[in-house]
Amino acid sequence: MRTCPKCNVNVLDEDAKFCIECGANLNVTSATLEEIPPKPVAQKKKSPIVLGRKSAVRNLKTGQSINLSKICSNLDSVTIALSWNCPNEFDVDLSAFLTDENDEAVSEEDFIFYNNPSHVSNCAEYVAVSDTEEKIELNLKDLPPEIAKIKLVLSINDEDDLQQDFSEVSNMTMKIMDSDKERLVYNLTEKFTSETAIIIAEIYRKEDSWQCEAVSKGYEGGLVELCEIFGLEVQ
């Protein structure tokens, strides 16, 4: 009779090699069993977790506002791009009015457009891309503190002489980028009729941050009317 070194069960068959109860090898002593290390358990490999800034493009609707300081990582290099579709004979222009808290431009230098493409502070610049796309590049970090708002405007050049308006302009889209990364998209869905100028959006200071509001408000008096609204004299 043999005794199992593992479970101590008596095995009557002298020729048996394994215990009928636990299956242990009967030719191994209990001392030897204690020296055998347990079989290592295979560890499941885990994929590394990579943390980073959320880069999803935000979509803005008319009347909504968003904190640019939270979605843009480089406020010293912000690009506002406007694109549209229109008949070939149309001349649509992008411009920006830099105003104080009372919506007044301090001087003509605060009106950025194709004839005054760069602000005196070098923090706002107009860039023509094509007949249907133009940009305003901004350095919001270094913009003079007296500038509290930036009005982004689309207008039709020589609208009175040519009898043109925004009823024939479509697919107007504003995109905001920083460091060439798209952060925000605003697709205008409003149907315009006799308007010849539109305030597309307004970028404004709020405490220590910069906000962007989708406006989409049209004016029948064109760029001349907006100049008068923002305190600039038109010759």
- At a CB cut-off of 8 Å and minimum separation 6, what does 110 contact? 97, 98, 99, 119, 147
Q: Where are the alpha helices (DSSP H) in 67-151?
A: 68-71
Give pTM, 2 decimals. Answer: 0.76
Q: What CATH number is given for 58-229 in this structure?
A: 2.60.60.30
Mean pLDDT, the chain, integer: 87
* Token pair listed for 100: 């104080």
Where are the domains positioned within the chain?
Answer: 1-35, 58-229
Dihedral (Cα; 59, 135, 124, 91), 10-degree rounding: -120
Taking 3-state DSSP, the helix, strand and coil percentages for the chain, each rounded to the nearest 5, stand at 10, 40, 50
Query: How far apart (Å, rounded) are the C-alpha atoms in residues 84 and 79?
Result: 17
Query: How far apart (Å, rounded) are the C-alpha atoms in residues 26 and 102?
Result: 96
Model confidence band, residue 40 (pLDDT cutoffs 50, 70, 90): low
Is residue 33 pLDDT above 70, yes or no?
no
pLDDT, tens only, 137-167: 999 999 999 999 999 999 999 877 788 999 9
pLDDT, tens only, 41-59: 556 555 554 444 455 899 9
pLDDT, tens only, 78-97: 999 999 999 999 999 999 99
